[in-house]
Amino acid sequence: MNNIQEILAYNKSFVETKEYEKYTASKFPTKKMVIITCMDTRLVEMLPKAMNLKNGDVKIIKNAGAIISQPFGSVMRSVLVAIYELGADEVLVVGHTECGMASLHAETMIGHMTERGISEEVMSTLENSGIRLQKWLRGFDSVEEGVKGTVDVIKKHPLLPPNVPVHGMVIDSATGELDLVADGYGQQASL
């Protein structure tokens, strides 16, 4: 049985036994918060447990490294949707220890791409179109600095209401311990 077949078989039982009932929640976050965090597999269950969050409490946006690299990209759009359409009034960026983005090297990843069949012609076309893969695929040197950088991108966004606090934390991916690296209370977005 492959992954998709396994998922569908489990899901059939999940629906038939009404397991979904214990996860019933509104689309509006009860804690009025949106969290941007990493897609790391260790955080799937640990992050909500370490923060005492249950289904329906917050909006969670996941991507590589909890980084907003494009101020007008899909992650920031999701933050703004959570604020303007879904009732969030607070933003929290959560990075984690041992993040793969801290050791991401564009040259290595580009090498992996060509090994997996992306042609030199495609790479050349992208570069000649103004897409700088070396910059786009860069990681960060420090998780704390990565979190603070994303907090700064959000706080300075021209469409963020000035009264929305933006916080930053780093979670230990082994223990779940949280470290506050940016406290957004009392700070206003600088435009």
Q: State the binding site for Zn(2+).
A: 38, 40, 96, 99
Binding residues: 38, 40, 96, 99
Dihedral of the alpha carbons of 182, 136, 98, 94, in degrees to the nearest 10: 30
Distances (CA, A) of 148 to 119, 127, 131, 166, 175: 36, 29, 25, 10, 22
DSSP 31: T
Q: How far is C-alpha 161 from the geometric centre of its chain's CA atoms?
A: 20
What does residue 162 show for φ and ψ, rounded to 5 degrees? -65, -20
In angstroms, the CA 114 to CA 34 distance is 37
Q: Is 162 exposed, middle or buried (0-12, 13-18, 19+ CB in 10 A)?
A: exposed
Contact (CB, 8 A) for 131 and 76: no
